[in-house]
Amino acid sequence: MADQADFETSAGNGGETHQHVAKAGSHGGEGHLTTNQGLRISDNQNQLKAGARGPVLLEDFVLREKIFHFDHERIPERIVHARGSAAHGFFEAYESLADITRADLFQRAGERTPVFTRFSTVAGGAGSVDTPRDVRGFAVKFYTKEGNWDLVGNNIPVFFIQDAIKFPDLIHAAKMEADRGYPQAATAHDTFWDFVGLMPESTHMIMWAMSDRTIPRTLRTIQGFGIHTFRFVNAEGRSTFVKFHWKPKQGLASTCWDEAVKIAGADPDFQRRDLFEAIDRGDYPEWELGIQAFDQKFADSLPYDVLDATKIIPEELLPVRPIGRMVLDRWPDNFFAETEQVAYCPANIVPGIDFSNDPLLQGRLFSYLDTQLKRLGSTNFHQIPINQPKQCPVMNFQRDGHMQMLQPKGRANYEPNSLAAAGETAGPRECPHTGFTSFAGRAESDEQGDKLRIRPESFADHYSQARLFFRSLDPAEQAHLASALVFELSKVGLEHVRTRVLSNLVNVDPDLARRVADGLAMPLPEASPVAAPILDLDPSPALRIIRGALDLKTLEGRSVGILIADGSDGKAVDDLTSAIGDAGGRPVIVAPKVGGAKMADGSILKADGQLAGMPSVLFDAIAVILSDEGCRSLLEEAAAVQFVMDAFVHLKAIGHSKEAQPLLDKAGVRADEGVLEIGKSFLDAAGTRHWDREPKVRTLA
């Protein structure tokens, strides 16, 4: 019948068939509103009452079902990585890697594998903002032909701790303080710095966490890392150690701290919105996946342990080999069903990929599965569509349980069985030849040894790589890192905690410690004791954001806010928007009123947003095209002055018409290579920040 709700079938795990509603809702006049049992609803506006003004009747099962479901719409949020955004896409292999791995997705050049990738902040709750100073999670679920592989990492290649047994302590210390319930999504408080000050192994991660890496511009401009050392295993059983790297094709970009704070106020969802809008307009985010591949001999040659998650292998020492690309091209159809219910687990691997004995990784392998049971409420969470394998069947004898969605048929629910001899279905069987087998080699140490609660001596150096990271940064980044430490430690009320952290910083770099101590107006303490000699490792320029390899000077994928007012030159605006678009950028028209402004020729140019609601912190560069009259009107508009002032102090390019000069003057803008009249030179300048300006606009540690 034409008025019936449409249904379609889809294959579930194990080839079972289930139904779901393909069209629903009354907004478009399609189908009938029903209860969850399929009963059509005649009135969705009023409760069932005993008379027009009488009490509501208990028999109103429509009300009961609706309120019951609403009351249970929320599931427990993730303990960490609660604030997340995700998208669908694909991974495309560049070449066959059959020489080092049997994993099917790496066997054929050009083969595409569906992925679902989730980015997240670590410390904040699901309702926190997008732009705190925080590590970003970077988790990719590959739906391969051999099952799901989850590469669950961060935008930083190291971690705070070496052993997973300390993870609950780390997160308890970093989260809101237990007695007062704040601060949210921030580590600038006593308990966090007390913990890391007592854990020297955290020092390297602190360098990264206080660097510009933790205040990224967008989710499209972050790197991703697998953090741990994994294994590739080929068809002959030969193992190769690998470390995974995601490099953004859009380049690596961060914000200024002041800018990140203001973005949080102007648009708490800035990075989520940016990712959604980029995909929506076809500007698909893309990353290149690379590996650092090495053998045991190379690992033994390093002055640190590759199983230590607080260490990196510099790219200059072992270059990253590009092996494929990931493109995100589709936003989830339903945020809750996909982004919230997706369950990543480092233990989800496929033949050809295996683990190392990294003690942090080993703990994660145990932890994640238990987490999904608590969060999603059922051992059958893998049957949720976003978690189901897409390119291979699921066949086993696991049965029943809470929220079982499938209906396995037949008597066989155990193995082995001989029911096939009676003509019945016997079910699936193990496959020694094609099934997953763990790497059979010796442990990554010379001797397996006794089982001990101990860390190897090779894990004892906590400062050499922290020193390497700091000394590899551009001077501007070093200043940002020092200033971040001053800011965070200024929020620490316990003086002995600040002193302890300063003692640790002396081991990293005495000048850094001195700058932070000066910023806190505290005496510089003696260096804290060390358990291993501190090495002066060669700097790694690959670790830089500013003036680094991924600091792309381009407008592609970036936005330019164009401030107009009544009397602006419409042709100049049109020429600029066209030029920005031709350069791959996105022009955004901003006016005092959302309806737009009347141009000099009398035409109305519609605005993309209102000045008060679209501050310059939302853009990568700005242009100000005003008439004399329009400029005079904006001189009395605080939002306009702030629009230009913020762009200047956030080191962005500012293009302007001659008539806009008084507004620039009032905002304290001084001419430099990034402040110039609109033309081709402005487009060149708009593709980057102008770091040489920074000492003129703010005091840094």
Average pLDDT, the chain: 92
**Cα separation of 309 and 205, whole Å?**
10
The band of 449, judged by pLDDT with boundaries at 50, 70 and 90, is low
Comparing 34-38, 105-109, 116-120, 232-236, the range with the smallest average pLDDT is: 34-38
Kindly state the average pLDDT of the residues 687-694: 96
Residue 430 CB contacts under 8 Å (≥ 6 apart), including other chains = 415
The answer to whether the peptide bond before residue 416 is cis (omega within 30 degrees of 0) is yes
Among residues 562, 568, 580, 578, the alpha carbon closest in space to that of 624 is found at: 562
**What is residue 29's predicted lDDT score, i.e. its pLDDT?**
52
Domain boundaries along the sequence of the chain: 84-177+216-387, 559-697
pLDDT at 453 over 60: yes
Q: Which pLDDT tens digit goes with each residue over 257-298?
A: 999 999 999 999 999 999 999 999 999 999 999 999 999 999
CATH architecture entry for 84-177+216-387: Beta Barrel (2.40)
- Model pLDDT, residue 649: 97
pLDDT in tens, 306-351: 999 999 999 999 999 999 999 999 999 999 999 999 999 999 999 9
3-class state of residue 144 by DSSP: strand
For helices 638-649 and 257-266, what crossing angle results, to 10°?
140
| pLDDT at residue number 71 | 86
- Judged against a pLDDT cut of 60, whether residue 447 lies above it is answered with no
pLDDT greater than 80 at residue 442: no
* pLDDT of res. 317: 97
Q: How many residues does the chain have?
A: 701
Tens digits of residue pLDDT in 502-517: 999 999 999 999 999 9
pLDDT band at 27 (very low <50, low <70, confident <90, very high): very low
Band the pLDDT of 441: cuts 50, 70, 90: low
More confident residue, 244 or 397: 244
* pLDDT band, very low/low/confident/very high, at 12 (cuts 50, 70, 90): very low
Q: Is pLDDT of 69 > 90?
A: no
- Report the range of poorest mean pLDDT among 40-54, 159-173, 191-205, 628-642: 40-54
What is the C-alpha separation between 357 and 346, in angstroms, rounded?
Answer: 14
Can 84-177+216-387 and 559-697 be said to share one CATH topology?
no
Instruction: Please work out, in degrees rounded to the nearest 5, the angle formed at the alpha carbon of residue 489 by the alpha carbons of 484 and 494.
Output: 175
pLDDT for residue 354 is more than 60? yes
Pull the structure tokens for residue 59.
């028999």
Q: Using CA atoms, how far apart are residues 154 and 176, in angstroms rounded to an integer? A: 21
Backbone angles phi, psi at 478, to 5 degrees: -60, -40
How is residue 193 written in tokens?
């710095």
The per-residue pLDDT for range 363-391, each reduced to its tens digit, is 998 888 888 888 999 989 999 999 999 99
Instruction: Please name the residues in contact with 341: beta carbons below 8 A apart, sequence gap of 6 or more.
Output: 75, 376, 381, 384, 386, 387
Q: Is the pLDDT of residue 19 over 70?
A: no
Per-residue pLDDT at 212 exceeds 60: yes
- Examine the pLDDT at 415 and tell me if it is beyond 90: no
Give the per-residue pLDDT at 23.
39
Query: To which residue do tokens 């694909």 refer?
Result: 90
Q: Are 230 and 241 in contact (CB under 8 A)?
A: yes
- Per-residue pLDDT for 8 more than 50? no
Q: Label residue 299 exposed, middle or buried (CB < 10 Å: 0-12, 13-18, 19+).
A: middle
* Centroid of chain to Cα 606: 34
Neighbours of 481 (CB within 10 A): 26
The yes-or-no verdict on residue 427 having pLDDT over 90 is: no
Asked if omega into 183 is within 30° of 0 (cis), the reply is yes
Axis crossing angle, helix 475-490 with helix 510-520, rounded to the nearest 10: 40
Could you write out the DSSP letters of every residue in 558-569?
-EEEEE--TT--
Are 12 and 406 in contact by the 8 Å Cβ rule? The answer is yes
CB 535 within 8 A of CB 464: yes
Residues carrying an active site annotation: 81, 154
pLDDT given for residue 448 in this prediction: 58
Q: How far apart are CA 469 and CA 536, in angstroms?
A: 11
What pLDDT is attached to residue 24? 39
Q: Closest by alpha carbon to 159, among 363, 452, 369?
A: 363
Q: pTM surpassing 0.75?
A: yes
Quote the pLDDT of residue 621. 98
Q: Supply the DSSP string of 639-669, one letter for each residue.
A: HHHHHHHHHHHTT--EEE-GGGHHHHHHTT-
Q: Which two tokens stand for residue 640?
A: 């306009």
**Quick one: average pLDDT of 162-180?**
94
> Which of 139, 147, 138, 140 lies closest to 103, judged by CA?
147
409 Cβ contact list (under 8 Å, min separation 6): 425
Q: Which residue has the tokens 């205040």?
A: 215
CATH H superfamily, domain 559-697: Class I glutamine amidotransferase (GATase) domain (3.40.50.880)
**Any idea which of 17-31, 245-259, 540-554, 592-606 has the lowest mean pLDDT?**
17-31
Whether the CB-CB separation of 558 and 687 falls below 8 Å is answered with yes
- Amino acid occupying residue 434: T
Q: How far apart are CA 393 and CA 398, in angstroms?
A: 14
User: Are 133 and 144 within 8 A, CB to CB?
Assistant: no
Average pLDDT over residues 411-418: 85
Asked if pLDDT for residue 443 goes beyond 80, the answer is no
Q: Judging by beta carbons within 10 Å of its beta carbon (0-12, 13-18, 19+), is residue 544 exposed, middle or buried?
A: buried
Contacts of 549 (CB under 8 A, 6+ apart): 541, 542
pLDDT at res. 397: 84
